Chain A
């Protein structure tokens, strides 16, 4: 039970950081998508099913805080996690010495996939006359997406080592999935 409460608050504070703190630090107004980085971390550690409810909670909180229709980021995160688990299951096991490189590719792929999924969702919704996006969606082929990828790559080690530190201090016990 304590584990679940800790995870809830981690996701809660990460969500607040994403839209109340990071926009002030970067003159682009754009910050890293740290909830997506959490999704990547948990999925690569415990797999799709182990991280399933955490990913849903992360998407849910991001939807609530950024005034998106609930379900938008939930769907995006769960989809991205599904594909990450498919890739990481095969590559992170086979190529242990290339772990950092594989993780970097995973982050790039996840950021692209997340953005592509949201753009596709908004396009479909707008076609049916449904105002899904409450803000301008960053166009898929744009410098902003490149900046988001760069920021995610920069911040992933911070997220990774913070969560690992919490594991080691027994605040979080991540069940390792044996592939």
Chain B
């Protein structure tokens, strides 16, 4: 009897692979987006409950394991607080100068942004801090490309995909993210990208520009609807790019992307 090569098992595997390849490589204008929208709408209430509950449990567990460090942190924070009180007094003058300069340069004051606040209800399970799910969508006036900040004006990403009741936010640490930024101290311009294992990297900075460790990096407002002046982070390390044509800097943000809870979209 001739050996049967095309068993039912192999036929099913091959047919599945062909259909998946067609869906992946010839995905015509996101044919599955309506299905995804329905799935996200149905999953939204469950995600809100589960994410919120698990975050609280996770925070409690993290607190219990860090009790020994709290006393040390407390003493350090007390010392820092005392020195900060003295600095506040001198910063009042700088605040007045800042308001005047912002008016002259045409920068949007931070408190004049139209913000839509909401909660993070899911994140990338691969642990790459590439994206999070936000519980606001088209119905709340959210659209793709809008900047996303945390409450003290630090940029964390931008809206990537929008569905009826939820949105996907692509974080700055996502390798496909690219935001135009500038160095506040030196004026150097570059692009912030996510890089696996490094976090944030400011790339495409010309050799003529100056980057120093400790410099503050903000958005430059060029080429997108991300407003100028949003804080990105501070320079931790400066390197030359692999092709030696540009400089690049590792930038550290104050935000821990895996712990995002409440975020705001700038409309």
Contacts and interface: CB of A to CB of B under 8 A. Distances in A.
**Residue in A16, A23, A27, A128 whose Cβ sees the most chain B Cβ within 10 Å:** A23
Interface in B33-58: 35-36, 39-40, 43, 46-47, 50-51, 54-55, 57-58
Contacts of B211: none
Interface string B1-38: 00000001100110011011111110100001001100
A135 B12 contact: no
Interface residues of B, number: 51
B60 to A, nearest CB: 11
B190 interface: no
B128 to A, nearest CB: 4
Interface in A22-78: 22-31, 33, 48-49, 52, 56, 61, 64-67, 69-72, 74-75, 78
Contacts of B57: 24-25
A96 B175 CA distance: 46
Nearest to A19: B125
Interface stretch (B73-81, B116-124, B140-148, B236-244): B116-124
A146 interface: no
B24 A29 contact: no
B24 A135 contact: no
A50 to B, nearest CB: 11
B125 A22 contact: yes
Given A25-B54, A29-B258, A70 B35 contact: yes
Interface residues of A, number: 52
B129 interface: yes
Contacts of A19: 122-125, 133
A20 B54 contact: yes
A21 B17 contact: no
A139 interface: yes
Interface in B76-112: none
B52 to A, nearest CB: 9
B64 interface: no
Given A24-B55, A130-B24, 10 more contacts: A20-B50, A25-B61, A29-B127, A30-B127, A78-B20, A85-B9, A128-B25, A131-B176, A136-B130, A136-B196
Interface of A: 12-13, 16-31, 33, 48-49, 52, 56, 61, 64-67, 69-72, 74-75, 78-79, 82, 85, 121, 125, 128, 130-132, 134-139, 144, 147
Interface of B: 8-9, 12-13, 16-17, 19-25, 27, 32, 35-36, 39-40, 43, 46-47, 50-51, 54-55, 57-58, 61-62, 121-131, 133, 160-161, 168, 174-176, 194, 196, 258
30 contacts: A16-B50, A17-B50, A20-B121, A21-B54, A22-B54, A23-B124, A24-B57, A25-B57, A29-B123, A29-B124, A48-B12, A61-B39, A64-B36, A64-B39, A65-B40, A67-B168, A71-B19, A71-B24, A72-B20, A72-B24, A79-B17, A82-B9, A85-B9, A132-B24, A136-B130, A136-B196, A137-B126, A137-B128, A138-B127, A139-B196
